[in-house]
A = this chain, B = another copy of it.
Amino acid sequence: MDKQRSKDGRGDPSSRPRFVQIADEIRGQIATGALKEHDILPSERSLSEQYDVSRMTGRRALEALETEGLVYSADRRGRFVSPQRLKYNVSNMVSFVSTAQADDVDLKIEVVETVETVADGKLAALFEQPVGSPIIAYTRLFHSGGHPIFIETEYLVADRFPGFLHYDLRQSTTQILESSFATTASTGDIVIRMRGVKTDEAQLLSISNTHTVIELEQVIRDEAGVPFCFGHQVWRGEMAEFSAHAIVAGRSVGKV
């Protein structure tokens, strides 16, 4: 039924593993433009026929491209060429939404959940408020080109922004805060790290639960230095790149 292959596929000791060679060929096709953004890639089974390898080897080639970020996978539909990365300037906190729209990125925002809750220990410390003080929280899913790119959950001090949840959250919240609550983002502290995706996140982002994401946390402060917003974003790692502009402060005295 199956074609005959040498027992362990190690016919030529060409040093580089077979699956790497196959991945390289596909990578080339993406580079030359033979495969374009969101184009479907050959399936595991068709790859295995095409290159006369087992399905598992074809799969490994595709998985390699997936961890590289060149390819994304949609459960049981196939694998596709990843689009260009979205650029996110974390220093320009004015609004990711407005800057993205100015850059002609088609951005769609889906409100996943809105809740009125109270501050736990962590949030209380962040906001310099007592534990149990009212907090507004909302989770939104951001799409670009019809594909989910990141989940954002933001926490606000409720007393400061009464009736906030009645606004349409499918727009820049920074803008709502600025125009309706006279609160402007002035400084922010941001943390970026790479980590494994959690099950619920994977579902929302429609990626497999063995994938890696980029987690971005930020505390936003007003002109008086008072923190009023805590944001938490989970990005599909291959979909974005983050930039920042740093200014060396306190350049004065003997800092080692």
Q: Select which of B191, B211, B240, B244 is within 8 A of A67 by beta carbon.
A: B211
> Which of A30-38, A141-149, A152-160, A182-190 is the interface stretch?
A182-190
CA distance A211 to B194 in the complex (A): 12
Residues of chain B with a CB closer than 8 A to A196's CB: 64, 67-70
Can you show 28 pairs from A to B with CB atoms below 8 A apart? A20-B209, A67-B67, A67-B211, A69-B194, A69-B195, A69-B196, A90-B244, A92-B246, A93-B246, A93-B248, A186-B248, A187-B246, A187-B247, A187-B248, A188-B245, A188-B246, A189-B245, A190-B244, A192-B242, A192-B244, A193-B240, A193-B241, A194-B194, A194-B212, A194-B237, A244-B246, A245-B249, A247-B247
Is A173 located at the chain interface by the 8 A CB criterion? Answer: no
Q: How many copies does the complex hold?
A: 2
| Bound: A212/B246 CA distance, A | 26
Find residues 91-112 in chain A having any chain B CB closer than 8 Å to their own CB. Answer: 91-94, 98, 102
The answer to whether residues A194 and B214 also contact, given A67-B67, A246-B187 and a CB cut-off of 8 A, is yes
- Residues of chain B contacted by A251 (CB below 8 angstroms): 184, 186
| Interface residue A117 (Cβ < 8 Å from any Cβ of B) | no
> What is the interface of chain A, defined by CB distance below 8 A to chain B?
20, 63-64, 67-70, 85, 90-94, 98, 102, 184-196, 209-212, 214, 237-238, 240-249, 251, 255-256
CB distance from A62 to the nearest CB of B (A): 12
User: In the docked arrangement, what's the CA distance between A126 and B20, Å?
Assistant: 34
Other-chain residue from B20, B70, B188, B246 in contact with A190 (beta carbon distance below 8 A): B246
Residue contact B243 to A191, C-beta cutoff 8 Å:
yes
Question: How many angstroms between the C-alpha atoms of A189 and B251 in the bound complex?
Answer: 18
Q: Least Cβ distance of A199 to chain B in Å?
A: 9
Report Cα–Cα, A92/B249, bound state, in Å. 8
Chain B residues with CB below 8 A from A63, complex form: 210
Give chain B residues whose Cβ lies under 8 Å from the Cβ of A241: 191-193
| Interface contacts beyond A69-B194, A189-B245, A193-B241: sample of 8 additional A-B pairs, CB < 8 Å, sorted by A | A67-B211, A68-B212, A70-B196, A91-B246, A92-B246, A189-B243, A190-B246, A194-B237
Query: What separation, in Å, do the CA atoms of A6 and B237 have in the docked complex?
Result: 38
Closest Cβ of chain B to A23, distance in Å, is 9
Report chain B residues within 8 Å CB of A91: 244, 246-247, 249
